[in-house]
Chain A
């Protein structure tokens, strides 16, 4: 229903601008190289070289090994560096290995850690294990922000999504996140709503404000705006900030830039006018 709200002109520009500020610009490939990450970081800092009014993205999200290269580029800017960790994307490694990985990326200087929950443990009913892992990872994070990836496509039901969300929040997650982006059926509006409602309930019970990060499958500006409308009508204006909402995306940025250009000039520009990094 909310995907049919009408967002135009100023409110659209506001939404598109916000979508960029909330974006975790992501590359998570086996083929990632220092060069690729450096290029992506530059893109995140200054998405449109021709337009200084375009804000930077919230963070660059990479694999642990590439954290130093992202940090090197983003030094002195507001752009944060997030690293996936805990045997991403499957989470099927011993806890010690996971904690070592987290300590390592935080030691390198990552601002944020995107961990995955142990779905195997969750689906076999060992909730305490899932919970303990998150608690320990949170400790290992220290000052770094912790986003907990539920990988909703593997959880199967909304009941499970809600349960996992509550579990993650109780264990100390700063953010809950839908997906690794490695499976189809990643972020959807319904599953995001389910998680937002869990966040809302936690806020009501405890006053704690937990962030939300849909990731995977959000490729078009129009989708991003729909997610923002959903956020606005579910959690309210307070949550319309990169501190509490992120969009994990690898290809969304250029479509947003194209839409901003279109709003300003009234015309669509060829994709060649937006840098590919």
Chain B
């Protein structure tokens, strides 16, 4: 047999080897037709409602309450009552029991929550199942452990709870942000009124079921839903502390509002993280990290590595590798476990992304999107990378909050630091190099709350998270995350 014939026999590959769709069943989670506000352990019939949808299909999922100021104030009053009549006086070990219980229930019902999170938020099931849910449960476990050790965490400072915490969370990690907010607040002995984002209220509402199942005393956790008006009512209401995660614009408005009121405030806002790649790094791993940094959760991540700084000597190789890797990203049904990139969370967000991408093209950056078929219904955006970007372009300055990466170059470590810090934000940064001393040198100089080395988007409840400059103030996670929820002896 000739060599050619042998080859002919061996060439078995069909034109495409397709993976079978593997959608998670929606049957596991029951969605009510209509939800009220969860106040004092009861569902209150809302005065106004709006419809929440599945962004992947634009299909309506449920009617949800739009809280009026009176409803919000009622919830705050209920929270205060619960604070004064028992919860704040409970021994830490008792509070811990409830938190442990919530953590365990979240684990037991994780599939249910994961499906609902993907349905209502558009994120791939792979993420909600493998990242959001395990981390949310881990947060409750972690802070449950602190509840009876506050004296030890802050020795000789006599920590005590601040009272009622008003908490407003974003739509990118709905349940996880809820956990980040509620777990430390409760561990420290506070009660809460929490408002999930307008577009993603369903997992927070399902969480009310967990609160009941855990037999948490009524009024300790209250959840009201609605848009910014409901959030504004929380800020204006009689709360002792406000914790907000969301856009810098709204964060500034909140800060103006609470100035002089004596209310404590922590803000976790936008970001435009620099992901810095040196020529000595493990290139293929860096590519994985870059992809994870910007395309994870459709780029709806405040700490997303949206500015890629590449040492000029490896720019072409790296971009080539990155483009090839992008071709294997699968965009589509969030409930399919093969999906890497799900739906954009809302029409408004999609329009914002489209606007900024158009601006990038107009400014002269070179755009690349891998060939991929986007579904017809729903909100979708293909993974995008811009090369030839200058520091002065809008796409290098403004937070896009979508799957859009801007690639810039640098020549020396000092230049990388200078450019990376040259932004109004300062939430996170990444460094890719095999050289340990350079990692430490860079980390010392980067003005960002988190600096990842040879990894990206890695979270742990024990690690504090928060920003510099316009990315906000206050820390969440770790022992630091308790501090905003405690008062100390002067």
Contacts and interface: CB of A to CB of B under 8 A. Distances in A.
Interface string A196-214: 0100000010000000000
A6 B22 CA distance: 6
B126 A4 contact: yes
B17 A11 contact: yes
A65 B120 CA distance: 65
14 contacts: A1-B126, A5-B338, A6-B21, A6-B337, A8-B20, A8-B22, A11-B19, A12-B20, A229-B19, A232-B17, A237-B13, A238-B13, A243-B6, A243-B10
Interface string B430-469: 0000000000000000000000000000000000000000
Given A78-B9, A241-B12, A9 B337 contact: no
A240 B12 contact: yes
A140 interface: no
Interface string B315-327: 0000010000000
A165 to B, nearest CB: 12
A9 B22 CA distance: 12
B126 to A, nearest CB: 7
Given A4-B126, A197-B284, A241 B19 contact: no
A195 to B, nearest CB: 11
Interface in A129-145: none
Counting from the closest, the 6 A-B pairs by CB-CB distance are: A6-B22, A8-B20, A197-B284, A240-B13, A233-B328, A243-B10
Contacts of B21: 6
A1 B20 CA distance: 16
Contacts of B9: 78
Interface of B: 6-7, 9-14, 16-22, 126, 282, 284, 320, 328, 336-338
A119 interface: no
A268 interface: no
Contacts of A233: 328
Contacts of A78: 6, 9
Given A4-B126, A6-B338, A158-B282, 11 more contacts: A9-B20, A11-B17, A11-B18, A11-B19, A15-B17, A78-B9, A204-B320, A237-B17, A240-B12, A240-B13, A243-B7
Nearest to A198: B284
A233 B19 CA distance: 12
Nearest to A244: B10
Interface in A205-245: 229, 232-233, 237-238, 240-243
B331 to A, nearest CB: 15
A156 B7 CA distance: 36
A204 B7 CA distance: 22
A11 B7 contact: no
B396 to A, nearest CB: 29
A11 B18 CA distance: 6
A6 B20 contact: yes
B11 to A, nearest CB: 6
Contacts of A14: 14, 17
Q: By DSSP majority rule, is chain A's interface helix, strand, loop, or mixed? A: helix
A158 B284 CA distance: 12
Nearest to B13: A240
Nearest to A229: B19
Contacts of A237: 13, 16-17
A173 interface: no
A11 B12 contact: no
B10 A241 contact: yes
B19 A7 contact: yes
Contacts of B17: 11, 14-15, 232, 237, 240
A4 B337 contact: yes
B10 A11 contact: no
B284 A6 contact: no
B39 to A, nearest CB: 40
A256 interface: no
Nearest to B18: A11
Contacts of B10: 21, 241-243
A99 interface: no
A141 to B, nearest CB: 15
Contacts of A243: 6-7, 10
A78 to B, nearest CB: 7
B20 A18 contact: no
A241 B13 contact: yes
A21 B168 CA distance: 57
A85 B81 CA distance: 81
Contacts of A9: 20
Given A78-B9, A243-B10, A7 B20 contact: yes
Contact of B19 (A5, A18, A204, A238): A5
B178 to A, nearest CB: 26
Contacts of A5: 19, 338
Interface in A1-51: 1, 4-9, 11-12, 14-15, 18, 21
Nearest to B20: A8
A6 B19 contact: yes
A52 to B, nearest CB: 17
Nearest to A1: B126
A59 to B, nearest CB: 12
A238 B17 CA distance: 11
Contacts of A1: 126
A78 B284 CA distance: 37
Given A6-B338, A197-B284, A241 B20 contact: no
Nearest to B9: A78
B14 to A, nearest CB: 7
